[in-house]
Structure 1
């Protein structure tokens, strides 16, 4: 798979306890991105954060949270990311979604799907 050097980063900020169709929302998003053959997705689990409600979510030992912040990052060509956005609409509840331009300097792998920039 090829990915252009000028690409787009989609970031979705949500909570660890958010669900879609009986599974964690972050998992549903990554699987949907994979089904659409997007270049890649990563789920990051935060140790502390807050959102629109200003409710603090933290992993401190004395105050364990079961709803830590989660960020899903997906990188691909802008058109492919924008085509993916409507698929997210039916999944997302309260969250923050951002897009930003990124410069891909390396995208390769070791398997048969390894690609080059361009």
Structure 2
């Protein structure tokens, strides 16, 4: 597969403890993106953050949190990303989803 030029970056911010279908939400999102043929998805675990409730989540030893922030990034064509948004509406009950234009310099699989 080859992707180059204007594309869309989809970012999904959720909590590590958020679940969907019996598995971690971030994992369910990545697996569903793969099942639907998106170019790729990556989940990043944060070490500190806060969201809508202004509660701090941190990985500090003395303040161990079991709900660290997780961000999933997906880059693909506008059509594929927009088609994935209704799926996210079903999956993400609490979190933040952002969408922006990006310029893909090079993406090519073997």
The TM-score with structure 1 as length reference comes to 0.90
**Misfit runs of 4+, over 4 Å:** none
- Structure 2 stretches lacking a partner, 5+ long: none
Larger C-alpha radius of gyration, 1 or 2? 1
Quote the offset at 1:4 in angstroms. 3.5
- Structure 1 stretches lacking a partner, 5+ long: none
When the two chains are superposed, the root-mean-square deviation of aligned CA atoms in Å is 0.9
- For 1:75, what is the secondary structure of its paired residue? strand
> 2:106 and 2:4 mapped to 1: Cα distance?
10
Task: Name the one with the larger strand percent.
Answer: 2
Deviation string for 1:78-100 (max 9, x for gaps)? 11100011111111111000001
Aligned residues: 110
- For 2:108, what is the secondary structure of its paired residue? coil
Task: Name the one with the larger helix percent.
Answer: 2
Note if 1:18 corresponds to 2:18. yes
Deviation string for 1:24-76 (max 9, x for gaps)? 00000001000011011000000000001000000001111110000000000
Give the conservation status (yes or no) of the 8 Å contact 2:43–2:73.
yes
